[in-house]
Amino acid sequence: MATEEHPEGDPLAALAALLAGASALAQRLGDAPELMRLLRVFERIPAPDRSVILGVLEREVEMRRMVGGAQPDLTGLQLVKANPNARLYVRVFQQPATRLPDDHDELVISTFQTARLLSLVVAPSMFPKWRAAALEAFTLLEPEELEAACRVFDELVALGREAATAASAAAVAR
């Protein structure tokens, strides 16, 4: 079918129109550096998951487009901003810890390693990330597990204060 842009029988004009369209598309895409990032991520998504993940993205984008500019009192729904902590995969922990070391020295070493690791949490760049992750982890616990964890944490605070007091007394005695 001949048009003004693509006169039938003029392959050079058709090629020029095709290249102009491709150039315009490349220019628009080049202005969105996130597109390359999106393509790299899409490439890494396992093939069986792609359709599901695209469905989630399509649904969320459509919701944002529909509700985005509407007044909350009109729709009853307000979308404030994208959730940077959203998850697309359900996390399931298959094998819970079943035992602690029986040996005193092993308990000392594992407690020491845990305390050392926790000291890294207070770094200003890490603390907000750790806090959000820890809160999410605690919401995954069963109620009795959360209660036991809180009891142990209270005991750890008391032990930490007791150790600090002992260290202070030892420093004064020197």
42-83 confidence digits (pLDDT tens): 999 999 999 999 999 999 888 888 776 666 666 666 766 788
Cα angle 117, 119, 124 (rounded to 5 degrees) comes to 115
Gap between the Cα atoms of 61 and 82, Å rounded: 10
pLDDT attached to residue 147: 96
Q: Buried b vs exposed e over 39-61: b needs ≥16 C-beta within 10 Å?
A: eeeeeeeeeeeeeeeeeeeeeee
Give the helix/strand (H/E) hosting 51: helix 47-67
Listed in sequence order, the residues at least 6 apart from 130 whose beta carbon sits closer than 8 Å to its beta carbon are 121
Radius of gyration of the chain (CA): 29
pLDDT attached to residue 88: 87
Percent of the chain with pLDDT over 90: 34
Closest by alpha carbon to 149, among 138, 160, 161? 138
pLDDT in tens, 108-150: 888 888 888 888 888 888 999 999 999 999 998 899 999 999 9
Gap between the Cα atoms of 10 and 89, Å rounded: 52
The torsion angles phi and psi of 117, rounded to 5 degrees, stand at: -65, -40
